[in-house]
Every structure is written in C-alpha cells, then in structure tokens.
Amino acid sequence: MTSAQEQTLGFQTEVKQLLHLMINSLYSNREIFLRELISNSADACDKLRYQALESDALYEGDPELRVEIEFDQEAKTVTVRDNGIGMNREDVIANLGTIARSGTAEFLKQMSGEQQKDARLIGQFGVGFYSGFIVADEVVVRTRQAGTSQEHGVEWRSKGEGEFTIVDIERAAHGTEIVLHLKEDALEFADEHRLKGLVRKYSDHIEVPVRMPTVQEGEDETDVTVTWETVNEAQALWVRPKSEVSDDEYKAFYKHVAHDFSDPLTWSHNKVEGKLEYTSLLYVPSRAPFDLYQREGARGLKLYVQRVFIIDDAEQFLPLYLRFVKGVVDSNDLSLNVSREILQQDPQVEKMKGALTKRALDMLGKLSKDSDTYQNFWNQFGGVLKEGPAEDHTNREKIGGLLRFASTHTDSSAQNQSLADYISRMKEGQQGIYYIIADSFNAARHSPHLEIFRKKGIEVLLLSDRIDEWLMTHFTEFDGKSLIDITRGDLDLGDIDSEEEKQAQQESAKAKEGLAERFREALGDQVQEVRVTHRLTESPACVVLPENEMGYQMRRLMEAAGQPVPEVKPILEFNPDHALVSRLEGSEGDAFTDLAHVLFDQAVIAEGGQLDDPAAYVRRLNAMLTH
C-alpha cells in the first residue's frame, strides 16, 4: 500500500438527502441495485473498448471485457467488478462524492415523500450507483484507471451516513470493484440463484458478458474447481431479429440505455440495408427528465459503429425538438475514429438524421392513435414538440398532425384537440383554423375577441404556452388551411357571414365614422387607428394588432429577457351597440376624453397588457363612478 494520505470527506448536502431517500424509501424496488451496478460496469467496458481503438495497451494484456459478480454468505457481501476503464482519485471524488449532473436541487424539490413517486424520480437523475445503499450498510469501491501504474489504485468507502473515506492503494487489475456489505434484511441477495435470476431479468441484453463463478468440489476437500459461467445472453439486443426479442427485453434494455426506472411508452426497432446500412432502436420515455429544458442537459442516442461503442450522447442523429427520444444507432458506414466535429460534417450522418427523424415521427404518429397514452406523452413532451415547426421545415406537416391544443370546443385547459379534429368540425364556408394567444388559459378563454366566434359557434384554439407565439410564427398552414390569429388585422369570416350581415357592418361603420374620429383624437398617439368592430357582442372595445406586428406574448418575453422591442401602436375597435359606447357618443369635453381612455385601458387589460399609467386609469374610473 502506498503512503498517500487517507482523506475523509463529506458528501454534498444533496447527496446526503438522496442517500436518505435511497436507503429508506425504496424497499419495494430493492433488486434494481444490481441492474444499476451492472449497467455502470458495462458502460465502463464500452468506454475502455472505444479508447483502446487508439491504444490497445490500455487493455493491459486483458482484452476480454467482462462484468463479474461474486457473493460470500459468511462475509455477507456481494461483489460486482469489471475490467473497464476504471477511475483515478479525482474521478472517484467527482463521481462518488457528488452528483455531477446539474439539477440536483430541482430533483430534491420534486421529492414528495411518497415512496412510489420518489422511486420513479430517481431514475430520471442518473444516480444509479447510490442504489447500492438500498441493500448495503457499507459500500467499498476499489478502482484503477486503465493505463496507469498499480500504485495509482484508489479505495472509496462509505456507510452512507454523510461522509466517505478515500485512500490510495496498490491494485493489480484495472477497472472497478464494488463490494456491498449487506444489511441483515438483505441477505437474500447473497444467493447464487437469486443473483442469476436478477441478471437474466434485468441485464440479459447487455453485450458485455456478465459472469458468475460455479464452485465444484472433488472427493478431496482441497480439490475445488472454480469455473466462470456467463449468465446473460451477452449479445447486443439491437442486432437480434425483432421476432426474437420480447417486450420485456425491450423494456429492460430501455432502462439500461436511459437509466430510467419506468417503462417506455413505445419503441421502434429498425434495420436499414442498401447504400446506407445501420440499425436503430428508438424509445419514447413515459416521463420527462428533469433537464429537458436545460441547454446543457444530456441528450442524444448511444452511437455504435459495428457494435463498438463510440459516443454516449450523439446529438447529431435527431433534431433538438426530439431530444427526449432515447435509444441506440449502430452503423457500418461511419469512420471509427471520428471526433464529434467530423461526425457533424459527415454527409452520411445527415442522411441518417433525416431517416431517424421520420422514424421517430412515425412512431409518435402510431402512438397518437391511442388517445390516452398519447395524452400522457403530450403532457410530458408537448412543449418540446412545439419547437419542431420552426426547426424542421421538411416535416412541418407531420409535426402539425402530432400537435394538441386546448379549444373552445371543450373549454377545458387540457391540450387534447388535434388540428385534424378541428378541421373535421369546421363550419361550412370557414376559411381557416382560428386561434388566440394569451398569457394564460383563462385570459384566452375570456378574451373579448372570442365573442363573435362563440355567437356563431366557430371553434377557436386557445393557446397559452410560452412557446405558442413562436410556434405560430413558423406554422402558418396545415392541410391546406391557413392558421389565423383572431387578434390581428381585419377579421373576415368569409362565407360564414351572410350578405345581410356584411351590409349591416358596412352601414354601421359608415354611421360611426364621426365617433371613430373623435375617439382617435382623444387617444392621440396611443393608437394607430380607431374603427367599428364586428368581433364584439358583449364588450365595449378591444385592441387589435396590425397583421405583421409582433404579438403581445412575444413582446413581453423579449422585454423580460432584456431584448429591445420596437414600439407598436395597436388598433382600437369599438362595439357600436354597447351602452358605454352610446354614453361615449353623448359625452363632450373632458368627460369624453376620460371615458375614451377608460375604454382603451380596459381593452388593453383584457388583452393581458400593462398600462403605461395605471394611476391615471384608476383616477378616471373613480371619477366616473362617483358622478
């Protein structure tokens, strides 16, 4: 042993809380510890295989990568070891003393104290190593990074009570060995049949062989033969024919790939042959990871070339709006020694990206035929899918068919109406798909702009997500129908309005030209124009944006982000049949000016806007109420 100092260090506060949760909340899922540790060991073997492409000296004369599991009933231990890449002292402190991924605080915020819910959460946060503490009251890790000398071994030891000890050791073998000192109520795992059953249940699909010793005693007590038996199939699941892979195997492989405790919603396994040869296995998770909206969050597919692991999170094979899709792509046509930059410029990658994107969208299309399951998907990932039309012009129509919206058809905040559903309910003579964007569902549902649509029974999509205006800027047509914002420009209901109604609107506008001019003069440069409306049936006035101006929602988002926003003057439309407008028409002087401003300010507030001078609005309103 070297004389390097022994260090006792404290866990991060978040890790302490996490260990408490792992140790106390997961008794119903205890057996998953073995799956997590084997999965980590298999990843370490994959990484060594990739690095050894440049220098096979890293194998140190032991190129047969494997995971080994042993148990000792007397010592009450289970040991999981691999001859993978291993870790140095800094790696050990970084990986086992902290949770290296961002978002840990968010994870802890989501913990509820409900065992089942918290157990599901753990899989979203990539903390599989700590699952060892579910069954062990002490965990010992011995490791050495491949390619370093024997005196660079490291031992890490902890009882999961807030601190860990780390010391340099001599270690002949590279790779990592984890020794679990089992709790008294977990001794069931120090059993050959139990461990083999768990390996076959959870890790059959892993390409690295998982081996266990079989001890045979001869007639003489000292005549003991130990043979190592490969317990798992040790064949990459994605290279097997679909007909030979069971649903349970697909689900188990997903949990290995995604480090998720939950089953996937669906998957697609496909082999492409011809000019471009590759195999893909894509999964749609059942719940969103915590870092779905974090730019630095891990995303992408596991990339293999001829079953040699290359990159863990290859982002180049799917567009950003499909970043929730997990899985594997294995190609025969990509150069083995690619760097990320070269990979991005490889024309084969672009072709594969286009094909895999279509494959993923087709998978979602099939999923959408099951409305309940698809609703679960949409609730988790709908906001991300809405990024699609702006990012992927080629597949805009296909993405449009997958979008779901709230609508006046149900008047529910649930986003469960497709554009195809909307089109099937369109009125005869209706020109397009109508929608309104607001800061909240209630603001959209109660907007004055909906009044004429409700009166005529015309459905309107109610959009209130932060991304919705960005979406609609890039998504202007679906199935030959234009998408029309009811708060912009002139409202033309086309053939839905009868000739008599159109004639009446023209006559009303002409009759109120004088009032409109007085109204505009009273408001001065606050408005671009004042005109009679036929949008309103109950409200006195509403504000309308010019056709090509940035919407209110986008303006507020940009202002909040500190971005300069060009000034826009809205158009004020008033309802000539409303009592307040009649009162306005009969007013003169200051009374007219005050009421004109009150009506304009109310229209801005109803739109979710902010007043430049709220105190003036209150003063005018109070003066009107006291007269």
Enumerate the CATH 3.30.230.80 domain ranges in the chain, comma separated.
237-387
Query: How does pLDDT run across 139-179, given as a tens digit for each residue?
Result: 999 999 999 999 999 999 998 777 889 999 999 999 999 99
Average pLDDT over residues 508-515: 85
> pLDDT class for 608, splitting at 50, 70, 90?
confident
- Ligand-binding annotation for 568, yes or no, is no
> pLDDT class for 399, splitting at 50, 70, 90?
very high
Tell me the pLDDT of the chain averaged across its residues. Answer: 85
For residue 284, list its beta bridge partners.
Answer: 266
Query: Quick one: which of 371, 369, 373 has its CA closest to 265?
Result: 373
| Percent of the chain predicted with pLDDT > 90 | 45
pLDDT at 161: 79
Q: What is the pTM of this model?
A: 0.73
Query: How does pLDDT run across 60-76, given as a tens digit for each residue?
Result: 999 999 999 999 999 99
What CATH number does domain 403-496 carry, 3.40.50.11260, 3.30.565.10, 3.90.700.10, 3.20.20.140? 3.40.50.11260
Q: Could you tell me if 549 and 568 are in contact, meaning their C-beta atoms sit under 8 angstroms apart?
A: yes
pLDDT at 337: 47
- Ligand-binding annotation for 142, yes or no, is no
Given a cut of 70, is residue 25 above it in pLDDT? no
Beta carbons within 10 angstroms of residue 72's beta carbon: 12
> pLDDT class for 618, splitting at 50, 70, 90?
very high
What CATH number does domain 498-626 carry, 1.10.3720.10, 1.20.120.790, 1.10.600.10, 3.10.200.10? 1.20.120.790
Given a cut of 70, is residue 387 above it in pLDDT? yes
- Ligand-binding annotation for 127, yes or no, is yes
pLDDT at 116: 45
pLDDT at 121: 46
Enumerate the CATH 1.20.120.790 domain ranges in the chain, comma separated.
498-626
**Alpha-carbon dihedral of residues 294, 309, 249, 65, nearest 10 degrees?**
-130
Average pLDDT over residues 488-511: 77
pLDDT at 506: 83
- Ligand-binding annotation for 232, yes or no, is no
pLDDT at 28: 54
pLDDT at 4: 58
Enumerate the CATH 3.40.50.11260 domain ranges in the chain, comma separated.
403-496
- Ligand-binding annotation for 164, yes or no, is no
Tokens of 156: 């890490």
pLDDT at 295: 65
Tokens of 326: 């997990």
pLDDT at 122: 45
- Ligand-binding annotation for 176, yes or no, is yes
3-state secondary structure of 537: coil
- Ligand-binding annotation for 266, yes or no, is no
pLDDT at 303: 86
CA 424 to chain centre: 31
Query: How does pLDDT run across 76-98, given as a tens digit for each residue?
Result: 999 999 999 999 998 888 777 65
- Ligand-binding annotation for 56, yes or no, is no
Residue with the larger pLDDT of the pair 364 and 439: 364
Tokens of 304: 């293999």
Radius of gyration of the chain from its Cα atoms, rounded to whole angstroms:
32
Q: Which of 249-258, 286-295, 365-374, 608-617 has the highest mean pLDDT?
A: 365-374
- Ligand-binding annotation for 549, yes or no, is no
- Ligand-binding annotation for 36, yes or no, is yes
pLDDT at 111: 52
Alpha carbons within 13 angstroms on the beta-carbon side of residue 443 total: 18
What CATH number does domain 237-387 carry, 3.40.50.300, 3.40.50.720, 3.30.230.80, 3.30.365.10? 3.30.230.80
pLDDT at 170: 95
- Ligand-binding annotation for 103, yes or no, is yes
Q: Where are the beta strands (DSSP E) in 389-469?
A: 405-407, 412-417, 432-437, 461-463
Average pLDDT over residues 305-329: 85
- Ligand-binding annotation for 82, yes or no, is yes
Given a cut of 90, is residue 230 above it in pLDDT? yes
Average pLDDT over residues 519-525: 90
pLDDT at 345: 63
Query: CA dist 237 to 17, 231, 251, 283, 327, Å?
Result: 36, 15, 11, 14, 11
Average pLDDT over residues 42-64: 90
Query: How does pLDDT run across 192-226, given as a tens digit for each residue?
Result: 999 999 998 878 778 899 999 988 876 776 777 88
Phi, psi of 240 (to 5 degrees): -80, 150
Given a cut of 70, is residue 536 above it in pLDDT? yes
Enumerate the CATH 3.30.565.10 domain ranges in the chain, comma separated.
15-230
Query: How does pLDDT run across 262-296, given as a tens digit for each residue?
Result: 899 999 999 998 888 899 999 999 998 877 877 66
For residue 179, list its beta bridge partners.
Answer: 79, 140
> pLDDT class for 316, splitting at 50, 70, 90?
confident
pLDDT at 283: 97
- Ligand-binding annotation for 400, yes or no, is no
Q: Quick one: angle between helices 589-606 and 614-625, nearest 10? A: 120
Query: How does pLDDT run across 329-364, given as a tens digit for each residue?
Result: 988 777 644 444 455 567 788 889 999 999 999 999
CA distance 185 to 136: 10
Start-to-end Cα distance in the chain: 94
Average pLDDT over residues 325-330: 93
Average pLDDT over residues 224-239: 86
Burial class (CB in 10 A: 0-12, 13-18, 19+), 226: exposed
- Ligand-binding annotation for 609, yes or no, is no
Residue written as token pair 């998504």: 475
Please check whether the domain covering 15-230 is classified as CATH 3.40.50.360: no
pLDDT at 113: 53
Query: CA dist 464 to 206, 377, 471, 550, Å?
Result: 44, 19, 11, 16
Query: CA dist 52 to 29, 38, 63, 350, Å?
Result: 36, 21, 9, 28
- Spell out the alpha helix ranges (H) of 409-540: 419-424, 441-445, 451-456, 468-474, 499-511, 513-523
Average pLDDT over residues 112-128: 48
pLDDT at 497: 67
- Ligand-binding annotation for 22, yes or no, is no
Beta carbons within 10 angstroms of residue 244's beta carbon: 8
Query: How does pLDDT run across 181-192, given as a tens digit for each residue?
Result: 999 999 999 999
